[in-house]
Amino acid sequence: MQDNERLSQFKSIGEIHSLLFDIMDDGVIIINHEGLIIECNPAFHQRLGYHKQEIIGKKVAELDTPEFAPKVSQRINDIISKGRAVFETAHYRKDGSIMPVEISARIVYVDGEQRLISIVRDISERKHLDIALQDKERRYNALVETSADGFWVADSQGCFIEVNDAYLKRSGYSREEFLNMRIPDIEATETSDETRRHLAKIISKGYDRFETWHRTKSGELWPVEIVTTFYPFNGGTFMVFAIDISERNRAQQEIAVQQKELSKLSQALQQAGEGIMITSPDATIEYINQSFTDITGYSAQDLIGKNTSILKSEAQDPSVYRELWQTISRGKIWEGGLIDRRKDGSFFPILLSIAPIIDEDGKIIHFVSIMKDVTELKKLEQQLLQAQKMESMGTLVGGIAHDFNNMLAALQGNVFLATRNLGDRQVVGKRLQTIHQLVSDASGVVKQLLTFAKKDIVEIEAVELNTLIKDAFKLARSTIPENIDRSLHLSNEILPVNADKTQLQQVMINLSNNARDALEKTKQPKIEWSLHKYQATPEFKKSHPETVEEHFARITIRDNGCGIKRIHLEAIFDPFFTTKEPGKGTGLGLAMVFGSIERHGGVLDVESDIGKGTAFHIYLPLIQAAVVNDPIPPSLSIQGNAETILLVDDEDNLRDTTSEVLQGLGYQVIEACDGDQALRLYLEHHEQIELILSDIVMPGMGGVELAREIRKLNDNIPIILATGYDRALVTSGNADISNCHVLSKPYSFEAASQMISRMLSKQ
């Protein structure tokens, strides 16, 4: 019964073993001494892709890869001799792929015969992990060894375990020397105790990043940034990157120096006396300094992000802006004068320099503008111009007095002859015509003198040079002694330019006076004025690269005097330079001439030969604008129709004569000797007075004040203001008086009658 129970138990355990054999995840094989497979479990043949019957009877060597197959016999012998063995090999699957396996084999006895039973574990995944780990380790080692930064490993006590070549090279130690050292041996900032406490802090925290100084083998100190991590495994290790920051520190020092320089430059820009503006290539404002704000009234908030057109002035010729933009767009510097506009709308003169900022590729990335407010400078310039003009006026007065004396003598002579021949209408008529011509000539001289005497009113307009130079020559001729041969050669072409008549006249008179002074010791003295059209030549452009125009009017004033020494030619346009004796010149004349021509956008050249003479050439750019010629004085008088005119003048003779002429033309006249009397008479006779003809400058109430008072009473009555002064000077600021015209004395009565008739007809 006990045997039966034992057998029953055995059968049960056998069944359990069989069950375990079948369900094991690892493969199991049983082989004999020759290596033949006599049994296997499902896991084994299924992992290799075989059916069981295909495996039974195969030799293990047939399943092994060529690398391991030759070792099978030896391994069987080792197992038999040792009783067990564990090793790795690789089997072929049925599809030809390889399955790495770990074999755990031992000897067993089955039915009294010695057999080898092996547990075959698929280690494919582990092999993949091993390969990945090995690859990662290789890459890590390569990174550490090839890194330009130093790297070392130390244990928890600070003893070095490993170091890369980069750190050894920088520190100067050999590997053997370094691996026998500790962290305090290279640390130059901390003491040993401080280093120990620091390591304890890193162990507690797990990592750290800080800057310190290390000491090389030679004793040199070098700055490093330490990046360290503490790994607590196997007693703990510090993995440390020691980055040499010498270059970084130098770069930071350089940056600090540059920032200091930039700060200095920024302060210089902000505190500069000139206005400074930086724009993008499309003229968007990016920066302005404080002086720019002070000059224009615009704050940075007003302008940043805006286009520079916000500063443009209607008072500036648009062609100047076009030429400016064309110049800087070509990468060149533009310099010149402009009329700009302040925030309050007022205009002001500036000197402006704009330079492009170009990068290494030759591309314009910014424009820098430097602006100087020259309002005060312009005032001083006008004062100097006026001073120079007064210097010329002294000479003009003498010459014009001579001309007037001649005219007065001729007038007296013709009056005497007319009186002697009162009975002969033909003789009297001829003398009266001569007197009329002499008065007209005297009037022309006065008008030229008034034009020349204008003070600081700059009027740039389109003018025709032939007419302008002809008038200037007449005026200058008064200053030239009659023993000097004077000639004028005008152009056959119309030559329009943009110019201020007064300034150009002064320029030519100054040059003419200089020519006169150079002729003192010349036997047959000559002064020649000439005007021609000029086409810019390559030589001219080379000498004057700032000019862009092609067509000019060339004015030449030439003498055959003593000439200018070569040593003086370069200095003649400098302010206060003069070769004249003390008291005979300020040295401002040619400087003013040069400045005036420059303001006109022109060029001034000089050529001179000692003993042969000097020629000054003025080149002014021609324009396309049509020039309006001065109107031809009317020659026909127009009769009135009994209209009543209030005539106001403090000069009795002139008032009586004018009244008689007006009555002769068919008008009724009420006379007043000043503005006060005129206002009273107008209040008494306002219903019949249809026009007022008044002098401007009178004792008490003047003509302009009278006109304003009349306008308070009557919005529309025609008013004519007559003056012997320059009309622009005496009427400036009075353009708000409606239906009011100015008549310059001495006026022709034909012109006066036409103006009166025209104004009355509009009523």
101-144 residue pLDDT tens: 999 999 988 777 888 999 999 988 888 887 777 766 676 666 56
Cα angle for residues 442, 445, 448 (degrees, 5° grid): 150
Whether the per-residue pLDDT at 27 is higher than 60: the answer is yes
Query: Model confidence at 622, in pLDDT bands (50, 70, 90)?
Result: very high
- Predicted confidence at residue 386, as pLDDT, reads 61
Name which of 87-91, 156-160, 449-453 the model is least confident about: 449-453
Sign of the alpha-carbon torsion through 504, 508, 511, 514: negative
CATH superfamily of 147-244: PAS domain (3.30.450.20)
**d(C-alpha 11, C-alpha 571), whole Å:** 135
- Predicted confidence at residue 451, as pLDDT, reads 55
Whether the per-residue pLDDT at 708 is higher than 60: the answer is yes
Q: Look-up: residue for tokens 């920024």?
A: 266
**d(C-alpha 316, C-alpha 239), whole Å:** 74
- Predicted confidence at residue 433, as pLDDT, reads 73
Query: Model confidence at 656, in pLDDT bands (50, 70, 90)?
Result: confident
pLDDT per position as a tens digit, 460-483? 788 999 989 988 898 788 778 888
* 12-128 has CATH 3.40.1550.10 classification: no
Across residues 432-460, what is the average pLDDT? 62
The full DSSP string for 728-760 is: HHHHTT-TTSTTEEEEESSPPHHHHHHHHHHHH
199, 238 Cβ separation under 8 angstroms: yes
The full DSSP string for 192-259 is: HHHHHHHHHHHHHHSEEEEEEEEE-TTS-EEEEEEEEEEE-GGG-EEEEEEEE-HHHHHHHHHHHHHH
Where is pLDDT greater, at 298 or 404?
298
Query: Model confidence at 409, in pLDDT bands (50, 70, 90)?
Result: low
- Predicted confidence at residue 160, as pLDDT, reads 94
Whether the per-residue pLDDT at 627 is higher than 70: the answer is no
Across residues 360-384, what is the average pLDDT? 83
Please give the CATH number for the structural domain made up of 274-373: 3.30.450.20
pLDDT per position as a tens digit, 210-265? 999 999 999 999 999 999 999 988 889 998 999 999 888 898 888 888 888 888 87
User: 240 Cβ partners below 8 Å, 6+ apart?
Assistant: 151, 152, 153, 154, 226, 227, 228
Q: The domain at 644-761 falls in which architecture?
A: 3-Layer(aba) Sandwich (3.40)
**d(C-alpha 601, C-alpha 606), whole Å:** 17
User: 744 Cβ partners below 8 Å, 6+ apart?
Assistant: 447, 722, 723, 724, 727
Domain with CATH 3.30.450.20 in the chain: 12-128, 147-244, 274-373
Across residues 603-615, what is the average pLDDT? 89
Task: Please provide the distance, in angstroms rounded to a whole number, between the alpha carbons at the two ends of the chain.
Answer: 161
Our separate counts of H helices and E strands in the chain read 26, 27
Query: Model confidence at 509, in pLDDT bands (50, 70, 90)?
Result: confident
- Predicted confidence at residue 483, as pLDDT, reads 87
**Helix, strand, or coil here: 343?**
coil
Across residues 643-650, what is the average pLDDT? 94
- Predicted confidence at residue 438, as pLDDT, reads 65
Across residues 426-441, what is the average pLDDT? 70
Instruction: Determine what percent of the chain is predicted with pLDDT higher than 70.
Output: 81
- Looking at every residue in the chain, the average pLDDT score rounds to 82
Where is pLDDT greater, at 169 or 376?
169
Domain with CATH 3.40.50.2300 in the chain: 644-761
Whether the per-residue pLDDT at 61 is higher than 60: the answer is yes
Count of CB atoms situated within 10 Å of the CB of 447: 16
Whether the per-residue pLDDT at 381 is higher than 90: the answer is no
pLDDT per position as a tens digit, 689-705? 999 999 988 888 989 99
- Predicted confidence at residue 737, as pLDDT, reads 82
Strand partners of residue 105: 85, 118
Domain with CATH 3.30.565.10 in the chain: 383-621
**d(C-alpha 633, C-alpha 750), whole Å:** 8
CB burial class (10 A; 0-12, 13-18, 19+) of residue 155? middle
Q: The domain at 383-621 falls in which architecture?
A: 2-Layer Sandwich (3.30)
Whether the per-residue pLDDT at 11 is higher than 50: the answer is no
Instruction: Determine what percent of the chain is predicted with pLDDT higher than 90.
Output: 36
- Predicted confidence at residue 583, as pLDDT, reads 42
**d(C-alpha 332, C-alpha 355), whole Å:** 7
In 3D space, the residue among 455, 501, 657, 486 whose CA is nearest the CA of residue 560 turns out to be 486
Whether the per-residue pLDDT at 727 is higher than 90: the answer is no
pLDDT per position as a tens digit, 668-686? 999 999 999 999 999 999 9
In 3D space, the residue among 220, 221, 219, 239 whose CA is nearest the CA of residue 229 turns out to be 239
